[in-house]
Structure 1
Amino acid sequence: MDTSTALPPDEITTIFYVGHHETDRTENVSYDVLSQAQGLGYDFLTVPITTPAFHTSVVSLVKDYKQRISQSDSRELPLPLIPPLTPQDSTLTPDDSNSLRVAVVSPWIDLGSSDPVIAHISRQVLNLEVAYAAFCGVSNVLVYAPTEEADAVGYGRAVQEALGLGPYVQLHVLLPMSGELETDYPYGEHLSELAAPPDFDADEDDSTAKDEYDVWATWDTIRSLCSYSQKLCLALEVQRQLPCLDLQCRWYSEPVRLLVFPRTTFIRNAKGYPVLSKPHQQLISRFARLRFPPWMLLSDVGTLLGAVDIPARTSPEPTPAEATSKTKEKPKDPVPHLRYLRHLQQSQPPRPPIERFGQGYQDYLQSPLQPLTDNLESVTYEVFERDPVKYEWYERAIAVALKDLRETVEDARPIVVAVAGAGRGPLVTRALQASESTGVAIDCWAVEKNPNAYVLLQRRNATDPLWSNSVHVVKSDMRHWPGPSNPNGEAGKVDILISELLGSFADNELSPECLDGVQHILHPSHGISIPQSYSAHLTPIATPRIHSDLLLRSGGGGEKWDIPYVVLLHQYDYLSLSPASSPESRTPNVQQAWSFTHPTSPQTLTHARLRAGGGAGAPGSVGGDGSNEHNSRSCRISFTCAKQGVCHGLAGYFETVLYSSARTGEKVELSTNPVTMESKSQDMISWFPIFFPLKTPVYVPKGGEMMVHMWRQTDDRSVWYEWVVEVYDTAGGKRRKVGMSEMGTSRKNACLM
């Protein structure tokens, strides 16, 4: 069972960190101004790094250079250099309060210009300003989006260079969700207006309609050039007209650190107050549930200075008459947009149980448990036992099985029930409760290899009123247990064998191997295994956050890319949706990889025992004698991706049938598959998904096909997985391969048998 050991509080406080931005702010954002903003309720302010005077001098420098070039015969003048900043060029100074400021790079530069002079000047401005902001102790710097005609590669290269100018500076690239920015540059000429015409002619035939994903594609180019640097973030402008839900979900998966709300995003309610539409509110609620929710930036919603009249410290107190006259007038709200966001903060919907349970562990990578080789701690067992669904479903399955067996077993003897891998005994308790509720007597056995848990089981058997010393507690690896002994000391058979050996990918904690090893004690004619079957499921996902985290992890040999991680996936996007999915539901295309059924066919186990002794056939295909080769699996699954995207790995889930009654047709199931979990085991928290990473992300074109290959391998001593992803595109009726990942293999981190 794979999950986090976190035990967060049931209630989680939602906090909005809201700032104020003016595109034409030129005044010095002093400590007094910051204090005024905080008095209004703002948490931070933006501040331009340089002044209009600097803009004027740079434009003059460019114009002068262009003129000299036009008058020169050689046209080989060296590119112009911007002189160092002077006190007149910037009002920003080193200050402890700079943590409350977001510095804004001059929005009039054009980093991706086709004109080498403009691109060169723009890079100098960017580097000068970022370096100076870093010197002043500002850790957050806002950079405006590339112009519509800009080269995204050139822009990305310039940003990548600027990331190295300050060890603690984060660059926030301001981009719209789609289309063009509504947050415009404030004053004077934009350097793009001074650019020379490009040397090449635009292809007039290449006038295809703009795609909603064009801005995202630009961002993908920029962050790829910057190697998914965690110092590179998104400042995402939320417009009044939101893009399609697919694109919203794609942006949600990206490292958004600022949500920017221009004044035009708001609408007016019946009373004339600014509010946001329901879709906008839902977007905010989703981002607010992230492990690190983005800050919010109100842009051009009103001038900050003068919004509230703060009297000077020497001003006399108002007279009683003045105070009375002022109270008669209802003051105008100076910050209605901010007030509305604070209202949304207080009215956020409650989080689902899985998010409350895993708070702080969203997208946190953990290596899967190895319960066969490791003895778990009590706190780990305790986390599993907090699940409000799993054990109740197990009890239902046991109760249905007891009723069926009571009809099948002819004599009136108690039904023999064994819990293999009892842990601290939650399934034992559920079996006893099922016996009480059905009136079917049982003879209960608890088998546990963990010597520490064995002590607790014995104590519980002696002190728990429900157990009342009626449980037979056995210390043994289930695979070596001879079975329940009768009064004559002879080994008997078990009627119901109960286990909870499933991992996040169903079989990744060696449930098939363990249950094969203990199956010899199960009654051959009517023995029931709970669970009866389970299946592993896959879907490709985009998760830049996790990929970025893995890039920063130390570890030689690249082994970090060959580990299937247990993770509460949170900030990600499905790349392939079900054909039956609606735009509102966005049902992912999750497909089955393979399945296991218990009890295993006796003929299969007989053949495996023969191979284990070297008496049947050739050795196994990947080592050993092949005795466990019947538990090998493989799959080849195709996923169609309607939208372009980047695959960072595969998300894995499982479904299991605990028990299905042939007599009544009742079926008790558990699922972590997002498609079926709500109908089969809603609010279950025992298992987080599993994630198979790709060392090199694979780009998938619009309408492309992803072919996922996966293998469950074994050498009779261990079990591991191998996976690879191919990408195909269809053009002119021909299918062609356009990409392929490196093969991942967890052999060095295999689960030991």
Structure 2
Amino acid sequence: MASPQQPLVADGGLPSPVDDFMPTFYVGHHESNRPLPVTDFALRQAQDVGYDMLTSPITTPQFHSRVLALISSHLSELSHRESADVASTRNIPPAPIIPPLTPIDTPLTPGDTVSQLIAYSSPWIDLCSPDPLISNISRQVLNIEIAYASFCGVGNIIIPGPRTYSSGPTDSDGLIQYARAIQEALTIASYIQISIHIPMYGNEEVKEMTGDLMTYARNGRSSGKAKAIKEIDLFETWDAWNMIRSVCKYNSRLFVALGLPRQLPVESLQSRWFAEPLKLLSLTPSTFLKNKGGHPVLSKSHQGLISRYMRLKQPPWILLSDVGPIPGLDDPLQLTMTADGFPSPSTVADASRSASPTPAEAAGRSKESQKPQPRPKDSAAHLVYMRYLQRNQPPRSIIERFGSGYQDYLQAPLQPLADNLESVTYEVFEKDPVKYDWYERAIARALSDWSEKRKPTSSPTGAVVIAVAGSGRGPLVTRSLRASQMTGVPVEVWAVEKNPNAYVLLQRHNKEDWGGAVNVVKSDMRAWKGPQRITTGPTSASAPELSYGKVDILVSELLGSFADNELSPECLDGVQHVLAPQYGISIPSSYTAHLTPILTPRLHADISHRAITDDTATETPYVVLLHAIDFLATSVPDHPRIQQAWEFSHPLPATTLAVAEARRGGGVSGGGGGSMSGGDGANEHNTRYAHLTFVCKDRGVVNGLAGYFEAVLYDGGEAGKVELSTRPDTIDAKSKDMISWFPIFFPLKNPLYFPDDTELEVSIWRQTDDRKVWYEWMVEAFVMVGPNKRLRLGASEVGSSRKVGCLM
């Protein structure tokens, strides 16, 4: 069965290429020293040029001066106490309290203008300061600004990231202090969305700021320059972000404003940030190259990254930072062209220099960018280029168009045995452009092989008997008839369906579309006795007798997102008794389940929210079109990134089914039944267990396991196999553009953090008590501490879907 449970477009069909949309770039303008306040005229002028939003400081330089005066006064008092030799730990006065804001302290006021602004909190505070005074004053400033911005109706606030990202001995508490301050800010403003402005990697060069509170610290760090010589830890800033959002318990109002560097990092780090809740991509002049005409352009790698990030379900906004003032503000009569995405070819020509500078070149250009730069020929050149990129985004793939709206949307798996599906659900399955073509190809090859090998058939007329078990609305019936026409091999088709509503439609199809050539049977496939045959007694006067024949080819589409999660093994076991014992074949003939650990903070936050009212939320395997995720494992010899857990093949040996039947009837002496209490072991042959080891080069957090499947519909020997795959690394080779199945997601109740060079060990069970089937799973993290010794760093709780298992 397929995954989507409702049509994605009004007519239930796939979106056509003409319906494809280009992602909209919402571009904002940020100026470190913006003239205040941001007036209605400034907003209109920015919009006329082509900007969608502006940033505004929450407080003014007058407020900054007032805070500095307060600190200076306090330090002076402390100095006086020390000189008078009266200071002691008991007599040190508490940090001063910042008085309330006054009108000259803030440029913001409630009104229509505020809704079009992004508030930017003061960059001169230092929440990470080791000086208790500075950290205290910094928290006060942040809280005052957050509270007032919330009062004014601001919807989004950007907070500069922590001044330190490391957890070394000199900075051990700075990051946790910052995280605690952000947690408090989220409680102050109940509706504001907060974005932490953080670089993709490395420490951003801190610009010299007059009145920077860091310089007032009485101990510890006074400048970030001393650390500039250390080797860059690519994942250090992500690690800091992970600490912040973990302290804030994955708050749904906490986002990342990601600073893009001139030199992009390795692909693994780009993928890591892709999985995070991105609100903004921040670009400075140093991010851009210059082409021969002197115009700012982005490298090919930057263009690819932006195109990828803009495919997110909620695309990030783009913030152009310090690219020059808004054109026309100094001269209202100046005519300014609107950035429309149609610049001259020379304006957007590729840069002649290398698209990927060396780290030394990137650092040198970063320093150059801090010097006064000559204004480009077009005062809105960076915006012009971004609008050009917007108009020239690559078209979405078939899967992207089909899955629009379903990305990272959690759905409980279908239970086709327990539930009767609606027509609209079947309809979505049938829109797959690949799946049914592959089934038709498999049936056609099976028929051709049957004819060439002159295998006996199970029908009196010599036709090959095909039974479609679980026919739904009949797409596989249609494909079986087509395969017969294509190969010239006559067939006798039986359509077996338990859903009484679908049974009505099958009869109508048989009359109107199939010319009465199909035998439609309403029955659970497991209870079906086989094709009815009419025989007569020894004399013509004898009454006709009914008997049941066999099936040569059994066709089914019972596969789920993890292959066996919709009870395909149990269903095909139950109908195997109708299959011709010597030559009968099953389509599919086998299928395998596959797993990999992933980071997906969005899904973890969603499931944690559901768990407030649903105690099974964290133990439900979800069907979900995984999108904003990061694959944590690295492919190494013997340990690929995605690994096979187990396999099912059909038909089963007759002896296996005989043992199962004996157990079901109590014919096996001794023992207490199956491995699970409450069962007699009749379905024990369909239990599975896998223990998989994944190698993770880079640190990360496991939020759960992504599950996929591969299936062999028919093995034609030298002619090759007809296969299906949902694995992202093999789908293009085996069943490109197939959309019927979304992956399955096994969540972890609590995220499991692990450091660099870790081995993740995944254990997963397929369990049964003969009444239902469910999964159990857990993850362990190990690190090597010696030549032949590993240390277990941690383990997740055992997840179990027993409460929501599939009923047999």
TM-score scaled by length of structure 2: 0.87
Question: Cα deviation per residue 1:249-305 (whole Å; 9 max; x = unaligned)?
Answer: 101111110000011111111222111000100110011111100000000111116
Q: 2:644 aligns with which of 584, 592, 616?
A: 592
- Do the aligned partners of 1:725 and 1:740 also contact (CA within 8 Å) in 2? yes
- In structure 2, stretches of 5+ residues that fail to align are 10-14, 165-170, 336-375, 536-545
Equivalent residue, structure 1, for 2:41: 32
Q: Is 1:74 matched with 2:87?
A: yes
- Do the aligned partners of 1:574 and 1:588 also contact (CA within 8 Å) in 2? no
Q: CA deviation at 1:80?
A: 1.0
The 5 Å alignment of 1:603-622 reads 603-617=655-669, 618=671, 619-622=673-676
Q: Provide the rounded CA distance (Å) in 2 between the counterparts of 1:631 and 1:50.
A: 66
Q: 2:470 aligns with which of 415, 421, 424?
A: 421
Q: Provide the rounded CA distance (Å) in 2 between the counterparts of 1:712 and 1:140.
A: 46
Equivalent residue, structure 2, for 1:134: 150
For 1:494, give the aligned amino acid: V
For 1:449, give the aligned amino acid: K
Moved more, 738-747 or 149-158: 149-158
Equivalent residue, structure 1, for 2:24: 15
Q: Is 1:708 matched with 2:762?
A: yes
Q: CA deviation at 1:59?
A: 1.3
Equivalent residue, structure 2, for 1:348: 393
Q: CA deviation at 1:332?
A: 5.6
- Do the aligned partners of 2:26 and 2:318 also contact (CA within 8 Å) in 1? yes
Q: 1:166 aligns with which of 177, 181, 189?
A: 189
Q: Is 1:546 matched with 2:555?
A: no
Q: 1:95 aligns with which of 89, 107, 111?
A: 111
- Do the aligned partners of 2:772 and 2:806 also contact (CA within 8 Å) in 1? yes
Q: Provide the rounded CA distance (Å) in 2 between the counterparts of 1:295 and 1:598.
A: 51
- Do the aligned partners of 1:376 and 1:450 also contact (CA within 8 Å) in 2? yes
Equivalent residue, structure 2, for 1:214: 236
Q: CA deviation at 1:732?
A: 3.5
Q: Is 1:243 matched with 2:265?
A: yes
- Do the aligned partners of 1:233 and 1:256 also contact (CA within 8 Å) in 2? yes
Could you say what secondary structure the match of 2:667 adopts? coil
Q: CA deviation at 1:211?
A: 1.1
Q: Provide the rounded CA distance (Å) in 1 between the counterparts of 2:144 and 2:400.
A: 43
Q: Identify if the C-alpha distance between structure 1 residues 304 and 588 changes in structure 2 by more than 3 Å, giving closer, same or farther.
A: farther
Q: CA deviation at 1:723?
A: 0.4
Q: Provide the rounded CA distance (Å) in 1 between the counterparts of 2:304 and 2:69.
A: 47
- Do the aligned partners of 1:529 and 1:598 also contact (CA within 8 Å) in 2? yes
For 2:182, give the aligned amino acid: V
Q: 2:746 aligns with which of 692, 700, 705?
A: 692
Q: Provide the rounded CA distance (Å) in 2 between the counterparts of 1:308 and 1:78.
A: 46
Q: CA deviation at 1:410?
A: 4.0
The 5 Å alignment of 1:437-448 reads 437-448=486-497
Q: Provide the rounded CA distance (Å) in 2 between the counterparts of 1:36 and 1:208.
A: 44
Q: Provide the rounded CA distance (Å) in 2 between the counterparts of 1:717 and 1:364.
A: 29
- Do the aligned partners of 2:7 and 2:427 also contact (CA within 8 Å) in 1? no
Q: Identify if the C-alpha distance between structure 1 residues 685 and 308 changes in structure 2 by more than 3 Å, giving closer, same or farther.
A: farther
For 2:489, give the aligned amino acid: V
Q: Provide the rounded CA distance (Å) in 1 between the counterparts of 2:208 and 2:322.
A: 11
Q: Is 1:230 matched with 2:277?
A: no
Question: Cα deviation per residue 1:537-596 (whole Å; 9 max; x = unaligned)?
Answer: 000000011111112225546310000000000001000021279xxxxx9700011110
Could you say what secondary structure the match of 2:615 adopts? helix
Q: Provide the rounded CA distance (Å) in 2 between the counterparts of 1:46 and 1:181.
A: 20
Q: Provide the rounded CA distance (Å) in 1 between the counterparts of 2:502 and 2:330.
A: 65
Q: Identify if the C-alpha distance between structure 1 residues 208 and 55 changes in structure 2 by more than 3 Å, giving closer, same or farther.
A: closer
Could you say what secondary structure the match of 2:616 adopts? helix
- Do the aligned partners of 2:7 and 2:424 also contact (CA within 8 Å) in 1? no
Equivalent residue, structure 2, for 1:147: 163
Q: Is 1:275 matched with 2:297?
A: yes
Q: CA deviation at 1:354?
A: 1.1
Could you say what secondary structure the match of 1:558 adopts? coil
The 5 Å alignment of 1:337-736 reads 337-406=382-451, 407-410=453-456, 413-464=462-513, 467-488=514-535, 489-556=546-613, 558-579=615-636, 589-617=641-669, 618=671, 619-622=673-676, 623-662=678-717, 664-733=718-787, 734-736=789-791
Question: Cα deviation per residue 1:126-150 (whole Å; 9 max; x = unaligned)?
Answer: 0000000000000100100111367
Could you say what secondary structure the match of 2:551 adopts? coil
Could you say what secondary structure the match of 1:408 adopts? coil
For 2:455, give the aligned amino acid: V
Question: Cα deviation per residue 1:621-650 (whole Å; 9 max; x = unaligned)?
Answer: 212111001100011100010000000000
Q: CA RMSD in A?
A: 2.2
Question: Cα deviation per residue 1:325-381 (whole Å; 9 max; x = unaligned)?
Answer: xxxxxx963311111111111111111111100101100000000000111111110
- Do the aligned partners of 1:23 and 1:186 also contact (CA within 8 Å) in 2? no
For 1:490, give the aligned amino acid: S
Question: Cα deviation per residue 1:387-441 (whole Å; 9 max; x = unaligned)?
Answer: 0100000001000100111223247700000000000000001000000000000
- Do the aligned partners of 2:597 and 2:702 also contact (CA within 8 Å) in 1? yes
For 1:277, give the aligned amino acid: S
Q: Provide the rounded CA distance (Å) in 1 between the counterparts of 2:255 and 2:393.
A: 25
Equivalenced residue count is 725
Could you say what secondary structure the match of 2:424 adopts? helix
Moved more, 365-374 or 347-356: 347-356
Moved more, 22-31 or 283-292: 22-31
Q: Provide the rounded CA distance (Å) in 1 between the counterparts of 2:377 and 2:236.
A: 42
Q: Identify if the C-alpha distance between structure 1 residues 199 and 104 changes in structure 2 by more than 3 Å, giving closer, same or farther.
A: closer
Q: Provide the rounded CA distance (Å) in 1 between the counterparts of 2:469 and 2:786.
A: 58
- Do the aligned partners of 1:709 and 1:725 also contact (CA within 8 Å) in 2? yes
Moved more, 727-736 or 512-521: 727-736
Q: Provide the rounded CA distance (Å) in 2 between the counterparts of 1:46 and 1:576.
A: 39
TM-score scaled by length of structure 1: 0.93
Q: Provide the rounded CA distance (Å) in 2 between the counterparts of 1:483 and 1:308.
A: 86
Q: Provide the rounded CA distance (Å) in 1 between the counterparts of 2:436 and 2:106.
A: 64
Equivalent residue, structure 2, for 1:320: none
Q: CA deviation at 1:306?
A: 3.2
Q: Provide the rounded CA distance (Å) in 2 between the counterparts of 1:269 and 1:458.
A: 67
- Do the aligned partners of 2:156 and 2:194 also contact (CA within 8 Å) in 1? yes
Q: Provide the rounded CA distance (Å) in 1 between the counterparts of 2:330 and 2:706.
A: 51
Moved more, 149-158 or 593-602: 149-158
Q: Is 1:289 matched with 2:311?
A: yes
- Do the aligned partners of 1:103 and 1:140 also contact (CA within 8 Å) in 2? yes
